Chain A
Amino acid sequence: MVTTLYDVAYFLSSSLLDALGTHLPGILGTALTNSGLIWLLAAVIFGAILLGASMINTIMLIWFERKMLGRFMDRRGAMHVGFAGLLQNFADGLKLFRKNTFKPREADALGYYSGPTAYMVTSLLIFGILPISSGWSDGSLPLTLLLALVIFSFAPLFIFVSAWSSNNKYSLLGGMRSAAQMIAYEVPILIAVVAVVVVAGSFDLTTIVNEQQNYWFWGPLFLALVVFVTGMLAEMERIPFDLPEAEAELVEGWNTEYGGMLFAFFMLADYLRALVGSILVVLLFLGGWTLPSYLPAGLTSFPLAGILWFMIKTYLVFGLFVWIRASLPRVRTDQLLRVGWMRMIPLSLLSIVLAVVLVAVRCLPVFGCLPPVGGT
């Protein structure tokens, strides 16, 4: 049975401290082992593992997008650094890391530097609370979904701060667009999520996944799924809704003035958010780490099977986003906002009504006969 990641971190930190404590004399050793230091160290290890995992995943996500987009465009994508270009993005990251970070003379230093940093940090923060396998979280945080969405919605602030402080007209326009767009689309996302909560009966992501034992929520809550995916596209600023960095008119939108590592922060945080969006879709609508029960049990019984299937689902959902990016043009700001306020919000409200009706008339089990039938 897979233990939680925090258990692993705790075990590592306690054994480390024990090893240290036995070698330290007397009172110092006992103080080291008995103090709260063990929790602190465990938290640090936990964070380090999360950071590493999420960064590697993000970079692999970029690779995945590049390769997939390449095939959509009848070309091959990155292919020379590492096998099939696997290391290309690491090389790119290294290049960006080595570059000089500079600030335009007229830019506001505080906002210019803190914007991307905060954007990056808040995007990373979400990973601390997302369960990605059955043993990941023990359910002690009852409001993980809400917390994730709250952290997710910090972004417009930081984007606007960095756009404004870089003192560039394109950046400012991009930042304003970004803020308007994200705020407009957070509302339908939250309302669509409420539909999921109504059916699942909990704000805890682990509970929501466990509730999808018999049927994944994409069937009964299809409307909410559509709204959620559309909203997530806007939140991630991916191509039908990538107006904030619409490169055709605003050179790079709100990160026009950024270069080097600060740009890498934006880039990585964008993909982190794309990863979070895909993970949320998988968690809320596609049964998380579970597989349909009619599939052979051997598929889920090996160690780390949950994480494997979870990642595969996540990448497939992201593949959908890439597909959309490869085939659709960019919408205009007014159209985007009109769709957001006048289509998405009514649709999301409708999805809540549907969810309530489904729960009230107790016809949800009907979806149990639909493929894929849930269960681990």
Chain B
Amino acid sequence: MSEMWINMGPQHPMTHGLWNLRVKIDGELIVDVDPEMGYLHRGIEKISEDRHYNEVITLMDRTCYVAGLAWEHLYIIASEQALGVETPERAQYIRVMTDEFQRIASHIMWYAAFVQDVGLMSPFLYGMRDRDLVLDLFQSFTGGRLTYEYNRVGGVRNDMPPGFTDRSRKVLDWLMDRFVEYDHLCLGSEIFRRRCDQLGVLRAPDAIALGVTGPMLRGAGVPRDLRKDRPYAVYDRVEFDIATAEAADVTSRYLVRMEEMRQSVRIIRQVLDWLDHHPGPVLAEKLPKWLGAPYAPVGREGYLLRRNYPKGVGFSSVEEPHGEAQAYVVNEGTEHPYRVKFRSPVFANIAACKKYMIGYRVADIPPIMGSVDICVGEVDR
């Protein structure tokens, strides 16, 4: 059979989200791949320029719909820098906790989608079930299950409800048992190992050259983790290890993510202990005037613009579940950010796909692409 292009997407079970992977196949062999992104572009960066600093947070939850709190954190760090706002310590700890919970939720979501790609049916449901527990926790203090709108410039919206830490510890204990079960279903299965070992190999030099970050980079043996390398929030005050694996294949990415979830549990336990003993404000006392209220009570007619606020620029990079995300916020002295720019880790991870897909078979496309952990929302923004 001669070579032919097939479109995997934009409407295809392999694509988790809305994107298109064009694959040139020779029989069952992949000869060439060509990712096409942009189907989900919503212009979030542009819309941000027309919103108040706090209102952009609603967009952040929709940027990556499985890691909303991590993206909120990313944006909030940058905008706090741009506005020159100090955050209370307790809010920093809460953000670390939400980040790690979000990492667990996102990785469980990844696990569910990934095993579905490999062909395992029931762990998908297990993953969704267990993720629900984390979402329950989120709901108990943010009020949302997917779009949280929890962070505010200068802190977080509200403190934890009473009894939250005990409930979290219960959920964490339960999740740790489930992680063992996940490993039994995947690593304990010879078929799974044969599907995924030595698959989608992306070695460290290529990964670094192509800007690949996150579990894909750590799966190639590079101990790069912003939480350690450039600690933000209070990550320098909690103990954890960077999860790495050597094989640079799909299995090693699986291993990295599983280990990261366990490390997240470790971090959350430390943070919960801290939160138990250090009550305090969660929102900064000294906020810029128009942020003193939850949001600026100003109209859109612009009659506030005559005031001059201090200008500034904020940059942040956060180790979100998919990799290193970066945000750049320019404050030109108005209530709206002058410019907001995000760097999505998944975009770089997908764009490197020629390096780790060519030469494998059609049946390998879903596991390889599943191991990238694609969130198209943040790719296209």
Q: Are A332 and B189 neighbours in the complex by a CB distance under 8 Å?
A: no
Assess whether B185 is interfacial by the CB under 8 Å rule. yes
Per-residue interface assignment for chain B, residues 105 to 126, with 1 indicating a CB less than 8 Å from any chain A CB and 0 otherwise: 0000000000111111110111
Set of chain B residues within 8 Å of A242, measured between Cβ atoms: 119
B191 partner, pick from A173, A247, A331, beta carbons under 8 A = A331
Assess whether B361 is interfacial by the CB under 8 Å rule. yes
Set of chain A residues within 8 Å of B364, measured between Cβ atoms: 332
Assess whether A246 is interfacial by the CB under 8 Å rule. yes
A69 partner, pick from B121, B195, B363, B366, beta carbons under 8 A = B121
Residue of A nearest to B12 (CB): A251
Q: Are A331 and B116 neighbours in the complex by a CB distance under 8 Å?
A: no
Complex Cα distance, B331 from A106, in Å, reads: 57
Assess whether A330 is interfacial by the CB under 8 Å rule. yes
With A327-B185, A331-B191, A331-B194 as known contacts, state yes or no: A249 contacts B362, CB within 8 Å: yes
Assess whether B66 is interfacial by the CB under 8 Å rule. no
Q: Closest CB of chain B to A296's CB: distance in Å?
A: 38
Assess whether B287 is interfacial by the CB under 8 Å rule. no
Complex Cα distance, B363 from A99, in Å, reads: 32
Set of chain A residues within 8 Å of B189, measured between Cβ atoms: 327-329
Q: Are A248 and B366 neighbours in the complex by a CB distance under 8 Å?
A: yes
Set of chain A residues within 8 Å of B115, measured between Cβ atoms: 329
B126 partner, pick from A73, A240, A246, A332, beta carbons under 8 A = A73
Per-residue interface assignment for chain B, residues 159 to 194, with 1 indicating a CB less than 8 Å from any chain A CB and 0 otherwise: 000000000000000000000000001100101101
Assess whether A72 is interfacial by the CB under 8 Å rule. yes
Set of chain B residues within 8 Å of A332, measured between Cβ atoms: 194-195, 361, 363-364
Assess whether A305 is interfacial by the CB under 8 Å rule. no
Complex Cα distance, B53 from A170, in Å, reads: 47
Q: How many residues of chain A get a CB closer than 8 Å to chain B's CBs? A: 29
Interface residues in B91-141 (C-beta closer than 8 Å to A): 115-122, 124-126, 129
With A170-B6, A248-B14 as known contacts, state yes or no: A329 contacts B192, CB within 8 Å: yes
B362 partner, pick from A69, A173, A239, beta carbons under 8 A = A173
Set of chain A residues within 8 Å of B365, measured between Cβ atoms: 249
Assess whether B28 is interfacial by the CB under 8 Å rule. yes
5 new A-B contacts, CB < 8 A, other than A249-B14, A332-B194, are: A74-B122, A248-B366, A327-B185, A327-B189, A332-B361
User: Would you give 19 A-B contacts (Cβ < 8 Å), ordered by A?
Assistant: A72-B122, A73-B122, A73-B124, A239-B119, A239-B121, A240-B119, A242-B119, A243-B363, A248-B117, A328-B191, A329-B192, A329-B195, A330-B118, A331-B191, A331-B195, A332-B194, A332-B364, A333-B363, A335-B195
By Cβ-Cβ distance, the 9 closest A-B pairs, closest first, are: A330-B119, A248-B366, A73-B125, A329-B119, A329-B118, A329-B120, A73-B122, A332-B363, A326-B122
